[in-house]
Amino acid sequence: MPVTTTKIENARFLLTVDDRRRIIRDASILIEGDTIAAVGKAVDLADRGADRLIDAREMVVIPGMTNGHMHVSYAHAVRGIFPDDVEDRLAYVFQMQSAMTAEEEHDTTLLGLVELLKGGTTCFVDPGSTRFLDAALPAYEAAGCRVMTGEHVTDLDNALNLPIYDTDEALRRTAQSIQKVQGLLNGRVRGWAMPFSLQVCSPDLLQGALRIARDADTLLTLHHFGGLLGSAAEDLPTARLHELDLLGDRTVLSHVMNLADEEVDLIASSGTKAVMCPSTVLKGGGGIAQGGRLPELLAAGVDVALGTDSVNSSNYLDMVRTMNLAAVVYKDSRQDPSQISAETALELATIRGARALGIDDLVGSIEVGKRADVVLFDTRRAEWRALTDPVRNLVYSATADSVDTVLVDGQVVVQGGRPTFTDEWRLIQTVEAHGTRIRERTGVGWETAWPIE
């Protein structure tokens, strides 16, 4: 069967994020099947036809964005349920999540994917909280997204309502979850080892999980909650991970807050990757000004991805707003506007984020030979104009709301701002009904602060 060709034509600006960081004005992209076949000035590609033409006039085109930490599977059913000052939030999270049926998890996941893709995020890491992977896979298939998934495991007592297994069982489940998904859907699904955190996993589990990741030639992620600022060196969690031989280029640490200088050095010298979730830290009062060391991590050469956490953590999946936060919070907290430029923020959401997740050979930039994960922003909107510098306007002025078209592996998954793979409004109604039942089943819920009559 001949491959389908697609041409994105006459883009106002194309941000390639390639090695030279070229921005091409009046650009076109030719896609053959799932792969980018040509990138250049529209005039130079004018004689190249295609089965499908996408008119990109007045559009700014960027590589699909990556979200390095995003629990997809439950939150849309009960979004906004938590009061700002709720205590033990994670315990309620995992209580509700473990009360979901496979069907509820499928539908809620699919709505999460709608929000991600509509916002131009084509690839994300679900850090293991999906309970029914068999039910989630059809949602990934329908949506056409790129995903790293697995099963989060613990083997130590915890107050988080996470299932606790004995160590061997936790390792067996880790290996099995990787095996189940690795390479599915044209390679868009990858299985990772996902022990939950240093605090709730034994050294044997953590080391065994990394061994499994290595044997399967894949990565490992865990929640990395930093120590208290000013902790003694031997109490630093990153030092403990180093001692256990858990750092290295297969390890992706999520959150990485409150790092001491020596922890930044350990992460950098070992080639460990990191994910930061600025919107979650800010909403949770996590102290990004004191404890967020993004500028130091980047200066040390660490590959960092941005994440949003779940829609009951941050509470949104908008990577454009997330780039904006990454770019502005350090300017303020360090009282230095040269911190984290708009260009750096875009790198974190694209090529550098893809490097952190081990997929920069496939995605993260718009270059010949890479998979065609591409996002078109419609700039015929007040917040995008005047349009002289597309990077600054994207990071400082736009939101993901102006995403018009999204392709993953050359397939159009969002067109005219709407998902092509599901009836969004019908899905919303289904998921809201699931949420009502989950709240009834678990008894989790709070009155609104203001009375609803």
Binding site for Zn ion (CB under 5 A): 127
In terms of CB distance, is 71 or 188 closer to Zn ion?
71
Least CB distance from residue 71 to Zn ion, whole Å? Answer: 6
Least CB distance from residue 153 to Zn ion, whole Å? Answer: 14
DSSP-derived 3-state class of residue 60 = strand
Least CB distance from residue 99 to Zn ion, whole Å? Answer: 19
Of the candidates 319, 329, 335, 337, the one whose C-alpha atom is nearest the C-alpha of residue 394 is: 319
Distance CA 147, CA 129 (A): 13
In terms of CB distance, is 127 or 226 closer to Zn ion?
127
Least CB distance from residue 284 to Zn ion, whole Å? Answer: 12
Which residue's CB atom is positioned nearest to Zn ion? 127
Buried b or exposed e, range 74-108, using 16+ CB within 10 angstroms: bbbbbbebbeeeeeeeeebbbbbbebbeeebbbbb
Least CB distance from residue 292 to Zn ion, whole Å? Answer: 16
In terms of CB distance, is 127 or 195 closer to Zn ion?
127
In terms of CB distance, is 60 or 213 closer to Zn ion?
213
Least CB distance from residue 277 to Zn ion, whole Å? Answer: 8
Cα–Cα–Cα angle for 116, 38, 376, rounded to 5 degrees? 30
How many CB atoms are located within 10 Å of the residue 420 CB?
Answer: 15
Least CB distance from residue 254 to Zn ion, whole Å? Answer: 6
In terms of CB distance, is 196 or 421 closer to Zn ion?
196
DSSP 8-state symbol, 54:
E
Q: Hey, CA dihedral for 317, 31, 352, 198, is it positive or negative?
A: positive
How many CB atoms are located within 10 Å of the residue 398 CB?
Answer: 23
In terms of CB distance, is 127 or 144 closer to Zn ion?
127
How many CB atoms are located within 10 Å of the residue 185 CB?
Answer: 15
Give the amino acid at 395. Answer: V
Distance CA 410, CA 32 (A): 8
In terms of CB distance, is 150 or 419 closer to Zn ion?
150
Which residues lie closer than 8 Å to 302 by C-beta, 6 or more apart? Answer: 264, 267, 268, 272, 273, 274
Question: How buried is residue 337: exposed, middle or buried, by Cβ count under 10 Å (0-12/13-18/19+)?
Answer: exposed
In terms of CB distance, is 127 or 435 closer to Zn ion?
127
Least CB distance from residue 94 to Zn ion, whole Å? Answer: 11
Element (H, E) at 261: helix 261-270
